[in-house]
Every structure is written in C-alpha cells, then in structure tokens.
Structure 1
C-alpha cells in the first residue's frame, strides 16, 4: 500500500532527525580536485546509508545534511543542467543589455 502524504512527511522528518543526530566530528571532508586550501570551496563528507554532509570551507561549523535520495536528486539535476548559471557579471560573464 502506498504511503499517504502525512506518512511521507513523518518519514522524512524522522530521516532528517536521524541524519542530524549523527556524530560527524571524525568524517573526512572532500573538495573538488585542484582547490587550494586557502580558497573558498564547497566540501562534502560521505555519511552512512549514502547520505552526504556539505559545508563551506569559510563556515565549517554550518553543515547541511542530505539523505541518499536528496543527494541523488541534486547530483542528477546538476548533471542535467538544472542549476546552470546564466552568464552575467555576478559569475564572470558579460552584463546583459
């Protein structure tokens, strides 16, 4: 039998609570190859059950955590161009007229 919207919401809240309850003080953080230690960069750590933690190197105390399903949806969307930036002055492109 399929889950109701209420059951899905409760399950997702339970998953989120369990994910944020994990002790991640000893995880290994990874960043893009070639990133310099002093540069601002996004860092990720792999957690149990396919979950991922993500933080900014400039604010390592603020950590976002994603379930395996959330991370998979993000990665697939990024690969599909869902988050591509329009060239503009804020990201190195030329101003639009």
Structure 2
C-alpha cells in the first residue's frame, strides 16, 4: 500500500517540513528531511496537541 504524504502549503521550499498521512485510522507524522522516522498517533491525540499549540502551551519551548 502506498502512503500518500501531505504537507502544508505554508511549508518551506527547502523541503524542511512535517508531513502527515492516514493509514487504517492512524495518523502518521514525519519530517521530510528524515523520512525514515515516523510517529504514529490517533486523530484525538493529534487534535489535542494542535489545540495546545494554538493556545500557546508550547511557546516557551521554541
């Protein structure tokens, strides 16, 4: 089965971006410059993480 990776249109042109795919209900994440490392999570967990990012919960880390 071919994985169809997607990235944001806001990603940098240098290829340094995070890509997402969905397989059998799991969300896969990888960095385009290190595609061999894949993180698997659920939609619920990814939504919770993204909500935290939008709320600024991780601003002190960047």
Aligned residues between the structures: 61
Change (3 A) 1:34 1:67: closer
Q: Which structure 1 residue ranges, 4+ long, deviate > 4 Å from structure 2?
A: none
Q: Which residue of 2 aligns with 1:31?
A: 7
| Bigger Cα Rg | 1
| Superposition TM-score, scaled by structure 2 size | 0.74
Instruction: Give ranges in structure 1 of 5+ residues lacking alignment.
Output: 1-24, 92-97
Say which structure is richer in strand.
2
Pairwise CA RMSD of aligned residues? 2.1
CA distance in 1, matches of 2:10, 2:56: 23
Q: Deviations over 1:16-51 (max 9, x none)?
A: xxxxxxxxx512111121432x331111112333x3
| Superposition TM-score, scaled by structure 1 size | 0.52
Higher relative contact order (CA 8 A, sep 6+): 2
Q: Which residue of 1 aligns with 2:39?
A: 64
Say which structure is richer in helix.
1
Change (3 A) 1:34 1:69: closer
